[in-house]
Amino acid sequence: MRSLMIWIVLVSLVEPCLAQTRPLLPDLNFDRQGDYQYMDSLRTLGHRYIRTTERLPHTLHNDTIQLEGLRYMAIVFKQWRNDTSDSSLFYATKLVHQAQIRRNTLYLVRGLMLEEYYYRVRKNDYPKALQINQRASILCSGLHKANSPLWQVQMNMGGIHVLLRDYPRALQSYQASLALLPQNTLVSKQNRKLLMAQVVMQIGDIYERQQKFDAARSQFEESRRLNRETTSLTNSIYADDRLGDFYTTRHQPEKAIPYYQESLVGWKQLNNPVGEASVWARLAECYVQTGNVALAISYGEQAMDVAKRQDNLRIRQMASQALYHAYRADKQPEKALAQLEEFNVVRDSLTKQKRIDETLALQNEYAIRLVREEAEKRQLIQHQELMDVRRQSEIARLRAEAEREQIAGENRMNQLRQRIETERLRADSQRSRLEQRGRIESLSHTIEQASLMRLFLVCMLAMLLIFFAVYYRKSRLIAHQKQEIEGLNRGLEGKVTERTAELKLANDQLRAKNREIEDALLRGQTLERKRMAADLHDSLGGLLAAIKVSLSALNPTQLPEREQQIYRNLLGMTKEAFAEVRYLSHNLQPDELEKQGLSEALARLVNKLNASQQVAFQLDNEQLPRLDKAIEFNLYSICIELCSNILRHSEATEADIIFRRFPTELNMIVKDNGCGMDPADATGMGLRNIQARMDAIRGRYEVHSGENEGTTFIFILPASSDVASSFPV
């Protein structure tokens, strides 16, 4: 504060000398944005600076320092945490107007950037911000890289692309800004590092949204390193908070806590209670996750106290959530319930605001797309106009060349006429002089003159013939070259057609070979399943039959009661195992599936199940057509797996297998009225096998179930896929 007063006194002392020297303005200390007296002193200094510079005579140098004063005031009001954004827009608009009058492109772009910040950040008017950025980008093309604010335009465009969730373009813009910043000499070294750190952090945010977590962490650490190389404590604190939040969302509290502790030290140095409270709330959540409940409660209560005093809903939400978890872990249900109610109240308030923000974001997104489309249309029209101008220029050039050739020919003809006229006059003069010599000499001279005229006419005729011959030869050469070009084009088109036909033939052969491989694989699987069914029936079935006969040969009446019970259990389990083996051996690869298709195989399966089990199965296969063998085989295997699960686990009395055909897909529905299950816990081996079979035939399935509500599986095969194209639409 004392240093600022000294600045004000110095400016007042040097006012009489300002016509000769340029006054200086102090750099803004971003760590003191919340200090009202400090920011008010900067405002006073800026006003005095503007009043002083307005009295200077109009020169290029004086105009520049006047524009700098307007820019400084706009920046002061922009960074002031009080509600002074309209004042910032006032000075930014005035700066744009004055820069246009003085034709100063640099300060015109700087003023536009301050206006863009107001509309984008303060008013959330992204379409207006996009239009300003587009105008500034065009103006920057006329500035040198060393003093061009194009880096700021690219940074702003990155933020707009993030709003549109166009992350590739956003990365492009941020990386372009990062490449331009080191080349700019108007930004101080410290501010350049702070801006680069901000851009790097934005890139890290994009990587985190794209779930590229290693790349995001690397960017956040680089941003923290750049901030620590400056004297800005606020930016270093934000970098620590961002890294802590990154590790917290990754459920790594032990890595997040050191960054939050460093951030807390910084907020204490700045005497910022809101910043401290936000870190306390985050630390409370981290300590809950690490099991240090007492420390979590302490930090959470401190954060809640500040949040209520400052009426900060966001910190209240974080603190109430952390305290709820802490009290619940500390077995204090009444306090935990109170914090949960507090959390719900705050969350509802924030949810309403979030919905409003989301609606506004959608409106902005639509408007931005309209602005972008309008800009693209303008660029297309400008490109078309440029092409028209180029074509007209080429036509004018060719026309001018033709006119030059015509003029040159006329000049040559005029020269020839002048020569003829000169020769004629010379001959007339000579003839008039020789007329005095007599008729003989006159006649000789006349004959000689006639010979000269004939020679001249012959020369003229020869020159004309040479001219027409050269012209004809050039015309023939041009026509020949045109024919050669057309022949080359026809040959190239023929080669392209021939190559396309070869590639199509190769693709057809490859598809046929793939189909042969798939058929061979299916035949191999069919043979293997038949072999396994025979082995099960002959070996394991025979062994179980022998065990059953051996058990039946025993006399249970001579055994104690407990051993009789064991005997009955063994006999029952042997019967169940024998029935299961028969069930598996008959259903691994039934003949009906291979010969008559899936419909007959399922009908036979349902008849067997209804004859021997306690669940009543129903089959609705009226809309089931014949399918590819691989599809029928996989669907049959899925039905076997689900029927087995229904019999063993569902406690159901009824089950249905239904097929429904639609224009774009075929659905198979398997449902029961059993005890149901939790779809989130459906991770058994059988369901993994079902998922693998659906992936093999390029289908998908859904599970709908609830406790005591039964279970419904819906299997969906798209009609447009290659593997399911065999059934009619």
Pair of tokens at residue 212? 């590229």
Q: What is the mean pLDDT of each run of 10 residues along the chain (729 residues)?
A: 38 38 66 76 84 84 85 83 73 86 86 84 80 83 83 84 85 89 84 89 91 91 90 87 90 91 89 89 90 89 88 85 88 84 76 54 53 58 63 74 78 81 80 75 75 83 83 82 80 77 76 66 62 61 65 70 76 68 60 76 87 84 86 88 85 92 92 82 72 89 86 87 42
Whole-number Cα distances in Å, 310 to 187, 275, 315, 322, 338 = 36, 11, 10, 19, 20
Distance separating alpha carbons of residues 436 and 540, to the nearest angstrom: 149
DSSP assigned state of 28: P
- Per-residue pLDDT at 48: 87
Query: Which long-range CB contacts under 8 A does 531-536 form with residues at least 24 apart?
Result: 532/588, 533/584, 533/585, 533/586, 533/588, 533/589, 534/585, 536/581, 536/584, 536/585, 536/588
Q: How many C-beta atoms lie closer than 10 Å to residue 26's C-beta?
A: 13
Distance separating alpha carbons of residues 168 and 417, to the nearest angstrom: 73
- Per-residue pLDDT at 26: 80
> Is the CB of residue 681 less than 8 Å from the CB of residue 702?
no
Distance separating alpha carbons of residues 211 and 33, to the nearest angstrom: 34
- Measured in residues, the chain has a length of 729
Look-up of token digits 């800009």 = 375
Q: Strand, coil or helix: what is 592?
A: helix
Distance separating alpha carbons of residues 662 and 78, to the nearest angstrom: 61
- Per-residue pLDDT at 715: 95
Distance separating alpha carbons of residues 159 and 153, to the nearest angstrom: 10
Distance separating alpha carbons of residues 78 and 698, to the nearest angstrom: 57
Whole-number Cα distances in Å, 693 to 123, 291, 555, 631, 689 = 54, 44, 49, 9, 6
Helix axes 189-209, 167-180, angle to 10 degrees: 160
What one-letter code names the amino acid at 472? Y
> Is the CB of residue 652 less than 8 Å from the CB of residue 673?
yes
Pair of tokens at residue 704? 């709908």
Helix axes 629-645, 685-696, angle to 10 degrees: 160
- Per-residue pLDDT at 661: 92
- Per-residue pLDDT at 667: 93
Q: Walk me through the domains of the chain, giving residue ranges and CATH numbers.
A: 1-9+35-123 (1.25.40), 596-729 (3.30.565.10)
Distance separating alpha carbons of residues 58 and 724, to the nearest angstrom: 81
Distance separating alpha carbons of residues 1 and 36, to the nearest angstrom: 11
> Is the CB of residue 306 less than 8 Å from the CB of residue 273?
yes
Pair of tokens at residue 51? 């009043």
Listing from the earlier edge strand, what are the strands of the sheet with 654-661? 616-620, 654-661, 665-672, 711-718, 700-705
Helix (H) or strand (E) holding 616: strand 616-620
- Per-residue pLDDT at 581: 65
> Is the CB of residue 610 less than 8 Å from the CB of residue 643?
no
- Per-residue pLDDT at 722: 41
Pair of tokens at residue 578? 């024998």
Torsions phi, psi of 507, nearest 5?
-65, -40
pTM: 0.45
Whole-number Cα distances in Å, 484 to 27, 475, 488, 494 = 71, 14, 6, 15
Torsions phi, psi of 631, nearest 5?
-65, -45
- Per-residue pLDDT at 477: 83
